[in-house]
Structure 1
Amino acid sequence: MIASITGQVEHVGLTTAVVAVGGFGVQVQATPETLSGLRIGGEVRLDTAYVARKDESPLLFGFRSPAEREVFEIMLGVSGVGPRTALAVLSVLGPDDVHRAIAQGDAKAFTAVPGIGPKGARRIVLELADKLIVPDRPAPAAAAPVEPWREQVLEALVGLGWNEKDAARGIADALAGREELGASGDVPAILRTVLAWLGAAKAGARTGAERGA
Structure 2
Amino acid sequence: MISSLQGTVAEVNLNSAVIDVNGFGMLVQATPQTLSGLHTGREARLCTSMVVREDSMTLYGFETAEQREVFETLIGVSGVGPRLGLAVLAVHEPETIRAAASDGDDKAFSKVPGIGPKGARRIVLELAGKLVPLEDKNQPTAGPSWKPQVLDAMTSLGWSEKDATSAIEQATKDAPEVAARGDVGEILRLTLRMLGQDGSKSSRAAATKVPASR
CA-based RMSD of the aligned residues comes to 1.4
Q: Note if 1:20 corresponds to 2:12.
A: no
2:93 aligns with: 94
From the CA coordinates, give the structure whose radius of gyration is larger.
Answer: 2
AA in 1 matched with 2:89 = L
Task: State the alpha-carbon separation in 2 of the partners of residues 65 and 101 from structure 1.
Answer: 20
- Structure 1's consecutive aligned runs of 4 or more residues displaced over 4 angstroms after TM superposition are none
TM-score of the two chains, using structure 2 as the length reference: 0.62
Identity of aligned residues (%): 57
Structure 2 counterpart of 1:81: 80
CA deviation map 1:155-196 (0-9, x unaligned): xxxxxxxxxxxxxxxxxxxxxxxxxxxxxxxxxxxxxxxxxx
Query: TM-score, normalised on structure 1?
Result: 0.62
Alignment of 1:34-53 (within 5 A): 34-53=34-53
Report the counterpart of residue 4 of structure 2 in structure 1. 4
CA distance in 2, matches of 1:100, 1:133: 6
How far the C-alpha of 1:86 sits from its partner, in A, is 0.5
AA at the equivalent of 1:3 = S
Shift of 1:123: 0.6
Residue 103 (structure 1) shift: 1.6
Aligned to 1:30: 30
Which residue is equivalent to 1:106?
105
> Structure 2 stretches of 5 or more lacking a match?
139-214
Q: Is the CA contact (8 Å cut-off) linking 2:102 and 2:129 kept in structure 1?
A: no
| Secondary structure class of the residue paired with 1:132 | coil
- Does the C-alpha gap of structure 1 residues 138 and 59 become closer, same or farther in structure 2, counting only changes over 3 Å? closer
Structure 1, unpaired ranges of 5+: 140-213
* Equivalences, count: 138
Secondary structure in 2 aligned to 1:28? strand
Deviation at 1:128, TM superposition (A): 0.5
Q: Secondary structure at the match of 1:121?
A: helix
Amino acid at match of 2:14: L
Aligned equivalents of 1:131 and 1:47: distance in 2? 21
- The separation in 2 between residues aligned to 1:9 and 1:77, in whole angstroms, is 30
- Letter paired with 1:21: V
